[in-house]
Amino acid sequence: MKKDIILCGVGGQGILSIATIIGEAATEAGINLKQAEVHGMSQRGGDVQSNLRLSTEPIWSDQIPTGEADVIISMEPMEALRYITYLRPDGMIVTSNKSFVNIPNYPDEEALKSELNSLPNVQLDIEAIAAELKSAKSANMVLLGMAAPYIEVLSIEQLRKAVSVIFARKGEAVVEANLRAFDRGVEASKK
């Protein structure tokens, strides 16, 4: 079994933390993993993207070919559409529905939503959920929870355990906040 995943967003949103958690879960599960990152001006506001390839079989390249991504996981809707040419015809987009308008020529938001809604997707205001949980920094964990059922090669429990491992050095309160956010994302994906 294999899964090709594109993670994308804007610098400072926590995309690379999601990649780290998926990588930890894959390593712990003994699944082959290749990762290529574009820290695209990983300063706040720049494009950040990562190719993650997970497989029970050997993987020869860290780059996902055009039209072969199974899932696009995005912290920002325009960034999800930026990589749409990589998505398989039967692929899924899991994204925040809240735009991060950081450029003067940002596309019309209604046109953006219309295009996104024409594709197989799961959208949610992840920032609002994180705010409800009083943990604004954990919006990326809400997104990971939403995406967890679509990763398939890793179980929700394997990903949840990896969240605990990755945040353990930051203390129990941070681990618990991120697990609550992850769990809320999983719940939201079932609706």
pLDDT score of 83: 94
pLDDT score of 142: 97
CA–CA separation, 183 vs 189, rounded Å? 10
Residue extents of the structural domains in the chain: 2-100+108-189
Q: What superfamily would CATH give domain 2-100+108-189? A: Pyruvate-ferredoxin oxidoreductase, PFOR, domain III (3.40.920.10)
Planar angle of CA 70, 10, 105, nearest 5 degrees: 105
pLDDT score of 44: 58
Mean pLDDT of all residues belonging to the chain: 91
CA–CA separation, 166 vs 80, rounded Å? 25
CA–CA separation, 112 vs 97, rounded Å? 10
**Are 140 and 182 spatial neighbours (Cβ–Cβ below 8 Å)?**
no
Q: Quick one: which H or E segment has residue 47?
A: strand 47-55
Residues in the chain, pLDDT under 70: 38-45, 191
Question: What is the sign of the dihedral through the CA atoms of 114, 117, 118 and 119?
Answer: positive
Q: Could you tell me which of 1, 13, 3 has the C-alpha nearest to residue 140?
A: 13
pTM of the prediction? Answer: 0.92
pLDDT score of 48: 81
Planar angle of CA 166, 58, 167, nearest 5 degrees: 0
Q: Quick one: CA torsion of 115, 121, 126, 128, rounded to 10 degrees?
A: 60
CA–CA separation, 91 vs 48, rounded Å? 21
Q: Give me the residues paired with residue 47 across strands.
A: 10
